[in-house]
Every structure is written in structure tokens, then in C-alpha cells.
Structure 1
């Protein structure tokens, strides 16, 4: 290999070595090969230690942070692309890179900026589907969206976003908005916009959020004059939705007609990157931090998620921003992702308990609003969508809903990752999803028998949901109702707090 004749080469998908100089130059080929060999040896050494799987995963993760940081592409002197850029720009790239570094040091917690957020304005070119705030509580605003179809389905759909992000990934931008798509299909769409909690709201727990979901559902029911509603929960909002469905099954079985879960962790024992951190000691440390501050800050959570994929979410931007002196890209998904929110300490504690003890799988392990959570007693029809390359919620974890919920479950497996799978409008030439019409059964058996479809799961969901959304009727002439009048235009006030 020292002569550069080894067959060892970077993965073709590894963008760090995409520049042709890494293969055309003998010198730089040796540099890349030396790094790859060293990295593989370091990471491979874990296999010689005879550790249990979780310990091995942790050791490999820690070593991966070191090996990825040590990549030659992260250093100006060993990155030929950066060196060439430095010469071509006569040093201007270094000046720009230094300016970016100082900005991030002062304003971004020392992390490289992933996005230029300046082109995006909430309510103007993102979160811009027409609608109104029709209800406001100290915890949430309820948005009702203006219908676009001539007739609407009688049963409304209430969207329940996660409590750890802004709701508007569901209404990202024209042409890329799930909300926009849903109203165009004739659905009456309501969406919760959670308030960003501070230390003063440290006591908001799962019961408070579940109660808020019930409140939103009943307001939507009253406005649309429907005795029942459909609900759709996403990510952590899906975990909340699962708990709410169990509670509703116990106290008011007719309130929810059908439900949807998107990229929702159901079985937390499924092997994942995050599960390697699951231990009483790490949970106690996390609880101590959020308990002291009153909230789990969105910035700290974003930083943790970034280190799960350091090449894509950290070092990629170190190279482009600092070594090449490029401005961060203007990308709506990343702009939304950088618009972080906090999680109250009490809810954080409950979610960690549910994660550590796999509470949704174990009937009665956790209670909500005084009733034990038992997914087997939820007999409403359920649509579950997961993502093939989801690094936060492995699709097998979401698939567990098919055996735990008591109703008829349709499972769809979308291409892409945790958020991109949800922002998946029709017309995307890269969009695909899997469906197995024969049934569910075991996760791997389901996948082996599934049919791959071109297009977006949104369309499949629309067909499924329209059959469970009542009858078509004339669309309302105005938003809200005499009891719940229009308070403000969407996206409301809480989304910018």
C-alpha cells in the first residue's frame, strides 16, 4: 500500500473523497489509503475485545468520533481540494473560513453552521399554508387550515407534532407541505403548535401534553361538527399520540375514528445508535442536567444528534465553511432543524423512563391521565409510516405497532431518513415506499414480501385516510366557529417564541 498500489479505496458514497485528485494523484491516494486502513484497524479492534453488544457499540461509537475527526479531509494541509481553493482564491477562502469560525464560536456554541437561515421567514415562505389560530391555551395554539377542495370530508384530522421541534416541518414550504397536500385532498386539517417551554414550565409532563391533545381534538370536533376525529402523531408526538389513544380507548372510545403514526418509536429495545446510551447512569445524568435547568435545551439535543452522524452533520460543514470558505447552504429542512425548542424537565423524565423501560411495549408500565397505557386495547384503524434509513427511530421499532395495537394496522416503509421521509411530496422522482398487502407478521418477513412503489406514501395515506374520514360535504365558509372564533392568522404566535 505504501506504493499506492493497494486496492483499498473509499466507499463511492463517501463524499469526503469525491474529488478526482484522491484517485488520480499517487500521493493523495496514499494519504487516503493510509487513513482508511488506520480507521478500519482502530474500529475493528473492538471486535477483538469480546464485549457485549451494547458495550461494543459504545466503544465503536467513541472510537468513530476520533477516527472521523482525524480524517485528512478535515485538515487544511491534508485536504488537496482546500489547498487548491486557497491558491485559486489567493487566500480569500481562508479569510472567509476564519470569519465563519469566529461567528460559530460566538453565536453557534462552537458548532459549524449547517444552514443560512436568512432566506426563510416563518409565515412567509415556510409555514405559509393559509389558516387561522382558532384556539389558544398556555401550552399550545390550534391551527385550522383553509380548505382548498370544493368539498371536504366530515371527520377532521388533527396533527400532533413532536414536543421537541417546531410543528412546521409538516408545513415546510409550498409544494413540500404535508398540510398543503392534505387540504388539497379534501381533508379538514387542524394542527397543534406547541409553545416553547422555559424553566417556568419545567413541570409540564406527559399528562399535561396528553390533556392538551384531548383539548385540541374536542375543539376540532366542535368546530367541524363531527362527533369523532382522526389524529396523526409524529416522532415524540407519536409516542404521546399512542398514550392518548390508549386513554381514549378507556374513557371515550368513539372520540378517535382512525389514527396515523409517523417515525414513532414503539419498541425501544430495537437496536439503534441511540440505544447504546440507554443505561441508568446516562439517564440519571441527563435527568440531572434538565432538572437543574428546568428544560432540556433544543440546542443541546441538536448537538447530541449531530454527533450521531458526525461526518454528515459536523465535519462536512467544517470543511465547506472553514477550509473552503463557503457560505452554509440555504435549505428549508435545515433551517427548520436549526429552529430548536426546549423540552420540559418533567416530560423529559417521562420520555426517558419510557425509552429505558420500553414502556409502550409493556402493558401498564406507564399511565396517562390516570389510565394504564395498553396499546392492545386500541382497536381503531392505524396507519404507520417509518423510514428505511432512520438513525433515530429504526423502522423495526415503528413496525412493532403492527403487533401491539389492537386494531387493523397498515404499515408503509418510506425511503430516506427520519425527517426527509415525512417531507416527501408527490412528484419527487426519488420517492419510493414499500407496502405488503398480505399482512404484517415479522418485520423482516414483511419486508421480504413487500412491494416497492414509486412515488410518495402521502398518496397511499390519502387513499387510506379518505376511506376513514366520513362523507364529503360543502366546505366551511369561514374558519373557527362562534364558540371558537378566529384569533389570528396562521402560523400564530407560539411558533416564533
Structure 2
């Protein structure tokens, strides 16, 4: 019978049918890759290893991915949403009517598109076949896009042609959308938005087999990136939200929202935080900040280096911050009136607590919209003197030019949003997804590639942590906001709306106002923010900041970033303002502080109730309070 060891599979002298099968499979795969590489113009590929251990690794990768799928248990809190939201056919049906009106049959357009396509093929492939050296930078291609900045997109003709053809297709489709006829302006903007969303989703960078970076990463890690990516994907599906940053990297009160203070007042709607002074004297008139209730307040208190709150305290301001409660079933009947009443309640409490006649106020985004209504109510009641000044951070009151969010405001989409409400509130994850769609390339597909395809570890980024820290909205108020403000634009119509029995007329506002807009803001475009100036009776100052909705506001002097523009003679339009504006480098915060001190520069000692937590004034709890931690 000979040596028994020779009969054992896998040992010297033995015969292992499984190993032979793997070897044959490897040879066939190598031949296939060789043909692909030959077509692609790539150098001969390194022969695949035929070691069974390497194939065992790939088998392990597939098995672990399968195990993760089988163990997956989704979060049912968003289960069974209405069909019009989840069925892709419904979205495509809405867009289909628009595309039927696009000039696809135009002979001139078709001819130009064909010529462009032929030129693309000839131009890209010609650079690889015409004897031009293929250096590390790759060929000179007609179209550039930062999604394809990695040199691997240019080094091989297959991937160069794939991404260049995609960019040409996107360009042509966008041009067709721009030429669409027979559509109302709002519908045409929706078509442009839908076209951009569609083309961004179809990018070859989003698919593993057409992304050379993902293919190379998969070979390098022997598929471990796919296992990690699968784990990330299933985790996100379970929680119903895309993860942008390391969920364990930040903790409220420890490394974000860490400016010292006390919660000194609370209602079922909000907590009021007073921050501890750091200067011996403070401005007599305190500051009350109203952040947007669609996000957590700590965008203005991310960390000591970025915190507007900490900076304002260091300048000698007594700062109060409203921390809105994330909606739950108890807030099912909350509407417009309740947020206006809450702002007035916060103002009155600060006035009473500190014994002052008036306060400075800040309203950020939608809280600024409500602050304008609050001022109109107070002035209508003869109580406008309660507010020494009002500052608006990227806030809109006239929604004529309200930007890309209008693409989500029609009867069909409002009905879909209403159907998604549960127990009287709208899950904050839905709003987060909506805002992510406005910049889907940056906030969706970029993370699909990094998290799911490349299997990268999550970064620790405080701004992205805040962006994903969603807040639920009262369903009734959300509906009113979309219909009365965004769709019907009633806030700028005198007495078309009311709050707590008082008609709202913005032209009655006599409070001095400081209005900040972001030059690149896509949520509250500067053209829209500017419109507030057209409705005020009192004095106002407009200032245009560099960057957008967040970075345009959160730009501390220490960063040395961006710039801002001022104009003492602003004119009647934003174009007039820009034409005569003076540019200033860096942060605008100091400029705003100068404006605040112009309203009232009186200072008093920072003692007594100016320093919360003292004798006889323990407060309710330490900042940042419970409400901001409620999920």
C-alpha cells in the first residue's frame, strides 16, 4: 500500500482534488484578467497565487459577509413607510412627464450629442494609442471632476473612458434639462434637481467594478474592505441613517457642547442655558440665542476653538441659549404659535431673572424666521422695547428665492411627508436625509464609497457628528411651515398669519436688526436672506459672509478663514450691495460685536445672577442639559 501519508490530501506525495480545482480556477481567472488588461492597455498582471490558503481567505470573506446578512435585524421604527416614498417607480413617474417635454427628438441636439461622443472616444483613446508617454499623471482629459481626481482614473484607458463618458452624459443630460420647455419655473428647477440627483447616483465611482480605487483596495486587502463595508452598511440600515463620523468619538459635555453653564429654566418646549462669565464685567444687556429646532443647539458650541458661545462669553456678553426639545408624542399638537410663545417666554424670563429692560437676540435659520414673527407680534402689542436688537443668522422670511429646498415643496411631497409622521412627530432621520440630498455627492455618495466600498474607518469630525445628531419635528408645525411659508409665502403678507391671537405684520418691526447671509449658502441663499431688509421699518445692517450655511456662521477669528463684505450704503438689491461692498479678511464676529456695542455699551460687574450656580441660585442642572441628549 506504500506510505500512508501519500494518500492524505494536501500532504507531499498526496493528491488533493480541491487544491487542483482551485488551481484550475486560478488559471482561468488569470487568463480572464489578462484579456481584460490587454484591452485596457495595462501591463501584464502579476499571476494570481494558487495557494489554497489565499482562496480560503476569499471564501472566508464571502462567508462572513453572508453571516452578517443572515444576522441582520433592521430597525422597524421606519418600517412600512408609504408607497409613494419608497417605490422608485413613483419618483420616476413624477420625473417622466418632465423628460417627455425635453427636446430629445431635436435633430440638431442629437447630432451635437453624437459628435461630442465620437470626439470623446477619439480624444481619450487616441492619447493611449498615439504614442504619448503614459506618465503618473495620466493623459490630458477634456473633463475634470474632483470625484475622479485619483490618478488611477486616468492611468488606464478603460477607466479614463468610463469616467469621461459619464461626465459627458451628465453634461448632456443637464443641458437637456435646461432646455426643457412647457414647465413652470418651480417644476423646471425640480427637473434640474432631479437630473443632478440622478446623474450623481449613476457615477461610476459609486460601483465597485467601475471604480479602480475600490478594485485595487479589494485586491490589497483580499476582500477585507468588503467585509468591513458590509458591516457599516448593515449598521446604517439598522439605525435608518447614513453614518458620517465615528459614533463613539464625541460625548456631549466632555468634548463637544462643553462651555460651562447651568440650565436655569425649562418648559415642555425648551431648556434655557445660562453660561458662566469669564470676565470681571459684562455688557448690561444680555444675549438670548435661538438655534434652529431642526438641529441641536451645539452647532454654536462645537468645541472651544470653534464655539461662538465661548467666544461671546469671553467678550463680556451674558449668553443664554435655548435648547429645544426633540419632538415626541407629547408634542403632537405643537404649532407655529407655540414656538413664538416660547421665544417670548425665554425673553421675558431672562429680563426678569437679570432685572433688565431688554435683551439682544439671535435667531439662526428657521429660528430666525420665527424670531422675525416674534418681533412683529411684540411690536404689534407695543412691547418691542423688550428686544434691544435682533441678529439673524442665514434666516429667511420671504421664500420667493428660497433655494433648493423648494424642490421638496409641492402637494405630492408634502403629502408624503405627512404620511411619514408617527405619533404626531416627524422622525429627524427623514429631515437629515432630505438635507443630505441637497449635496448628495458630498454627503451621500462620498460616504458610500469610503464606508461601504473601501471599508474605511470612520473619522472623528465634530461637525459631521452634529450633522447626524437628528432632532424630531412636531408634525403639525412641520406641515404648517412647509405650506404657509415655503409654498404659500404668507409671512411677508401683512396679517395673513397670526400667533397667539396677534396678527403678524413684519413691516411693524422697529427693532434694530443685523442680518447675516452666506455667499455660498444653498439652504438659505443670500438673495433670499436679503429680502428681509425689504420688510423692516426699523434700522438694519446687512453683512455677507464667505462660505455657506454652517461655515459662514461658525468662523471664529482664530481660524483665519474666509472673509466678509460690508456696505454702509447697501442699496435696494443684493446686487447693489455687492457692487459697492468692501471685502474684509477673516471672521465677521468682531464686526458684529462692534455693532452690538453700538446699540448699548454699558457694562456691569459679573456677579449675582450674572454667574449662574451661585448661592441661592443652583440652577436645574449643568449645561448642556437633558433636552439636547434626548433621542
For Structure 1 versus Structure 2, the TM-score category normalised by the shorter chain is over 0.9
Greater relative contact order (Cα < 8 A, sep 6+): 1
Cα 1:470–1:214, aligned 2, differ >3 Å: closer, same or farther? farther
- The Cα shift of 1:75 comes to 1.0
Cα 1:273–1:45, aligned 2, differ >3 Å: closer, same or farther? same
Question: Is this contact kept in 2: 1:154–1:224, CA < 8 A?
Answer: no
Work out the CA distance in 1 between the residues paired with 2:223 and 2:546.
42
**The one of 472, 484, 493 aligned to 2:626:** 493
- The Cα shift of 1:84 comes to 1.7
The answer to whether 1:299 aligns with 2:432 is: no
Consecutive unaligned residues in structure 2, runs of 5 or more: 1-119, 128-139
The answer to whether 1:428 aligns with 2:568 is: no
- The Cα shift of 1:185 comes to 0.6
Residue 65 of structure 2 corresponds to: none
Residue 163 of structure 2 corresponds to: 32
The answer to whether 1:384 aligns with 2:515 is: yes
Which secondary structure state, in structure 2, belongs to the residue aligned with residue 259 of structure 1?
Answer: strand
Cα 1:485–1:223, aligned 2, differ >3 Å: closer, same or farther? farther
- The Cα shift of 1:363 comes to 1.4
Which secondary structure state, in structure 1, belongs to the residue aligned with residue 294 of structure 2?
Answer: coil
Work out the CA distance in 2 between the residues paired with 1:273 and 1:348.
18
Instruction: After TM superposition, list the pairs within 5 Å mapping 1:240-389 onto structure 2.
Output: 240-251=370-381, 252-270=383-401, 272-290=403-421, 293-352=423-482, 353-389=484-520
Residue 76 of structure 1 corresponds to: 208
**Higher helix share goes to which structure?**
2
- The Cα shift of 1:326 comes to 0.4
Work out the CA distance in 2 between the residues paired with 1:112 and 1:138.
30
Work out the CA distance in 2 between the residues paired with 1:9 and 1:188.
56
- The Cα shift of 1:224 comes to 2.0
Instruction: After TM superposition, list the pairs within 5 Å mapping 1:12-91 onto structure 2.
Output: 14-50=145-181, 51-91=183-223
Residue 117 of structure 1 corresponds to: 247
Which secondary structure state, in structure 1, belongs to the residue aligned with residue 492 of structure 2?
Answer: coil
Which range moves more in the overlay, 358-367 or 171-180?
358-367
- The Cα shift of 1:482 comes to 8.6
Cα 1:97–1:151, aligned 2, differ >3 Å: closer, same or farther? same
TM-score, length-scaled by structure 2: 0.75
- The Cα shift of 1:264 comes to 0.7
Q: Which has the larger radius of gyration?
A: 2
**The one of 337, 354, 360 aligned to 1:207:** 337
Consecutive unaligned residues in structure 1, runs of 5 or more: none
**The one of 106, 120, 139 aligned to 2:269:** 139
Which secondary structure state, in structure 1, belongs to the residue aligned with residue 384 of structure 2?
Answer: coil
Residue 169 of structure 1 corresponds to: 299
Work out the CA distance in 2 between the residues paired with 1:475 and 1:364.
42
Deviations 1:435-486 (A, max 9, x none): 1122242111211221111111211111111222440111124316899751
Question: Is this contact kept in 1: 2:272–2:323, CA < 8 A?
Answer: yes
Which range moves more in the overlay, 88-97 or 121-130?
88-97
Residue 568 of structure 2 corresponds to: 437
Work out the CA distance in 2 between the residues paired with 1:15 and 1:23.
13
Question: Is this contact kept in 2: 1:223–1:480, CA < 8 A?
Answer: no
Question: Is this contact kept in 2: 1:194–1:494, CA < 8 A?
Answer: yes
Which secondary structure state, in structure 2, belongs to the residue aligned with residue 135 of structure 1?
Answer: strand
Work out the CA distance in 2 between the residues paired with 1:340 and 1:71.
28
- The Cα shift of 1:371 comes to 1.5
Which secondary structure state, in structure 2, belongs to the residue aligned with residue 320 of structure 1?
Answer: helix
Question: Is this contact kept in 2: 1:223–1:484, CA < 8 A?
Answer: no
- The Cα shift of 1:46 comes to 1.9
TM-score, length-scaled by structure 1: 0.95
Question: Is this contact kept in 1: 2:297–2:323, CA < 8 A?
Answer: yes
Deviations 1:369-418 (A, max 9, x none): 22111111111110111111111111111111112111111111112221
- The Cα shift of 1:302 comes to 0.5
- Aligned-residue Cα RMSD (Å) equals 1.9
